[in-house]
Structure 1
């Protein structure tokens, strides 16, 4: 199978993902749409994508360091939410984020073998 994607593309997508999660996470609670599906599923999906993009875009970083960095980002976001109106720190959000990162990085390890040319 021919590998056809560059890790540079995933680096750009990762940066966009970090920005999107940051902006969405610091919005005051009343500005969020009220018709969102289950909150923890959104956390898992967002951070799954972040972990996947981090692994696919990384050439030299070990997988465990990417997990630590993405989970650390998630922790910082949760801590910042304590200072945002109608938002707050939630352990279950952090757990869903962390599980999403772990699954995303693991999936990225598989995807990298088949899709990325180095």
Structure 2
């Protein structure tokens, strides 16, 4: 129960990411503004998610590995989840695997880790 208490927001955020990424896509006009927004959005949602995961993992003591290696575990989980969601887009109408999305998800993961470091370690 303690694990869920500290990780509920991270779990909900992760489910929200999956919901948004796997929604059937619509054809959108390829403009530079929309493309930039899409890339920033990918980085932002993964940045927030990694921050939530690290904080939740650090606070809980039910799963000691996650408590002691919270940063490493959160980064690994987020990168694996990102790759899995990009692969699953093959099965969602109007969606495709995009290397740029995977790259921006990775940038977001690293930004979340850096943000955690700035907030909690400096």
Give the TM-score of the pair, scaled to structure 2: 0.75
Offset from partner CA, 1:27-67 (integer Å, 9 cap, x none):
000299xx966210000001001111111111214212210
Q: Gapped runs of 5+ residues in structure 1?
A: 1-6
Greater RCO, 1 or 2 (C-alpha within 8 Å, sep 6+): 1
Among 85, 90, 94, the residue aligned to 1:86: 94
* Aligned residue in 2 for 1:96: 104
| 1:111/1:54 CA distance change after superposition, 3 Å | same
Q: Does 1:71 align with 2:79?
A: yes
Taking the aligned partners of 1:49 and 1:70, their CA distance within structure 2 comes to 11
Higher mean alpha-carbon deviation, 69-78 vs 105-114, is at: 105-114
Aligned pair count reads 106
Q: Gapped runs of 5+ residues in structure 2?
A: 59-66
For the residue of structure 1 that corresponds to 2:26, the secondary structure is: helix
Taking the aligned partners of 1:89 and 1:25, their CA distance within structure 2 comes to 11
C-alpha contact 2:43 2:107 (8 A) present in aligned 1: yes
